[in-house]
Structure 1
Amino acid sequence: MRTGTLARSIAVSGAALLVLTACGGDDEGGSANGGGDGEKLVNVYGVDGNTANGTGDDFSENGALAGMRGTQPLTDLGEDFMSRLREVDPNLQDFNYAGETYDAAIIIALAAQAAGTNDANVFKDYVNGITFGGEQCTDFAACLEIINNGGNVDYDGISGPLSFTDAGEPAQASIGLLQFGDDNRLDADATDFVITGDEANAATDEGPAYAPAGTTGEPLVIGTLLPLTGNLAFLGPPEVAASKLAINDINAAGGVLGQPVQLVEGDSGDTSTDTATQTVDRLLQAGANAIIGAASSSVSLTVIDAITGAGVLQFSPANTSDQFTDYNDNGLYFRTAPPDTLQARALADMIIADGNNTVGILALNDSYGTGLSENTKNNLIEAGLSEDDIVDLTYDPQAANYDAEVQEMVDFNPDAIVVIGFEESSRILQGLNDQGIGPQR
């Protein structure tokens, strides 16, 4: 495992890590912390913030992540879309939230055209309706043709069926079930997809009548608030590439309101800096009508009031915290990423399906980590586990080490361990490996 900065490009979605051997205990199954000749199988699960090919770059020993499985908001992107993303960024190795970022830009553009204006306070009322009802279409050009022919659109995007609720978030989502191979890379052949949620929970109000076909106006300006630096920078490349690809596709089809869409890029940094605040100020000064980002729920919580308070639409491709569902955002906050309630259901289903009766949860102490942890725990209890069967801990991502948390997992000796976090997860996984309860074979 490398020391120092962990340079990674991973998804922020849910991922389960199937941990294999842990020598221990007695003939009845043993103890996870060694002794005797028994063998205990520990199922370790992660989430979208720590399951991607980039994670394997933090481990030099083959098999360190072998069998590690997980969940993350992910759909079958298809080779064509991934190839087009690689044309934008040839160095891409992961595609986390690329579909969600692409769809965010397309929906913003369609809503502005449908409203006949780049004023977010007007086109916000069209966003939800773009994702359900009307005539189905799967790309901007086809949807624009429907609008220009006087019809209403139902955009089914790269990231799934969408179908937004009244709160401006997906009523259902595609969740990828992933697994690492012996080479510490994701095994594409082992990937499955499940749909969670219910389209019946989508909104029913399709919004106001569309503006007359061919309406022109001032150019739509879209800013991005995506992680280029900081401890979330591993999430940036696929999101940045997808935003550029979407704008290229929109403009190739004629743009919005008769004008090319303008893209102004910006860095969200992380919660340890004020980078996001500075970037938002710059984007607002640049005249952004909508801002795509941030990736981190915690970062979004630091800037959502500034963005929506300025009458600008914020559209996150990766925020999963359920705090945003009822947030007082003046109707200007939307997301293509599913809320934690949907990912947590898929994660809990995986844990139960693997036959685990006791579960330890190690979660990053922020709105993302604690929200996903709580929802996963609640789903596990609904599935039949008791409070005593689950130990949930939070940790500081800036901590010097995670020895204490790892030791608590050793002492609890669970059937499964869930790790909810970002790049610091590699150090936790290494600690679990060192204690014989990690994913190492």
Structure 2
Amino acid sequence: MTVGVVLFTRDLRVHDNPALWHAVREHEQVLPMFVLDDDIRTGGFNRPNRATFLADCLRDLDGSLRSRGARLVVRRGDVVAETARLAEQVSARAVHVAGDVSRYAQRRERHLAQALTCELVVHEDALFAVPPGRIRPSGGGAHMSVFSAYYRRWLVESRRAPLPAPRVVALPKGSPAGLLPSARSICPGPTAPRLPPGGESAGRSRLARWLRTDAGRYDEVHDDLAADATSRLSPYLHFGCLSPVDVLARSGTTAGFARQLAWRDFHAQVLAARSDASTRDLRPREDRWRSAPAEFIAWQQGRTGIPVVDAGMRQLAEEGWLHNRARLLVAHFLTKTLYLDWRLGAAHFADQLVDGDVANNSLNWQWVAGTGTDSRYNRIYNIDAQARRYDPDGAYVRRHVPELSEIPGAAVHEPWLLPTRRRAALDYPDPIVDVAEGNARFLRARGRR
């Protein structure tokens, strides 16, 4: 009997999983495995919020595999050594794995190919709707650098049909199991109090609910901060509990939501070609970023005195997730109004976000900071106007900044205009910066006066 190993990484699902589907078709027995890799577990990217979500994902995946006659084999240690050892133990003919784009993932793939005595099969279509490298610049080059041009081609690019979940997964007899990890054993520490549940079952349930309720009005409400009508699928896409191919097939390409999936693929193909973009400016602007530790801490804690910024940072702390419009505003405030290095913000987001993805996190921060793919690299947003447009009644601010919960309507966005006695009664700081002056400072630093 031929045996195939499926090495799960960021594809923690049984539905539309090319690595699992092909392994089941091509081998009589399949060993599904996951390695708690020491390089990740002891590195800075392993954080309590994601560890909690990951533990949920692994339990759910194991349950899905058990219902099909198998189970998830869990190992700890070096992912290459553990995979090679297990593949040798079961006399595997091939190891199937999803292709990924980070510097770490690319190195892992190279080392696996060298260490295995069997074939390594990399499934490039497992994590993205359009795999990196599929869309290339017409004039040559490693990646597309302008999103609008990429998006036009992404919309018409052919995509495979979603694959069904296998009905049966035949496990080799005597396969060693290994205990499913707890969240604390992955990364101990306090978590956000309102984390979403992890796993494919929770992700598919959320997707079905969103398609029934808010998907049809996505273009109208996705920027409305208080409505909270976005899909909230990003954690499930990051961990591969949901397949972007399946999500796109079920939601369609006509709504603005497809554009969000395209941004995900766009950033992936940039990082695949420029692995250093996770930490280095994609397009350097000769910035001399300020050092202002007290201002950075105020931003982290949601105590900047700018209500919509503080609401966003507190939502991040409460939920391990942040509304996309709020992500843009808090990033703009840090990098342009305060003129602090985007890497500080990206690191804080990586600490907190359940959907903390190397490509999306780093390259979204670079886009806002003007060091990435935005051609308008000196773009300035009027934060007050943004707050009034996307939170016109102040409901989002009042939800996340309780000190301001008694201020009615849009007045909540400018508490400094309240009478002195009323302001003194609030446990809320004055703005740490004059926004207009901060933005002007940024433009001077970038050479635009």
TM-score with structure 1 setting the length:
0.22
Select the structure with the greater relative contact order (CA < 8 A; seq sep ≥ 6): 1
* Higher fraction of helix: 2
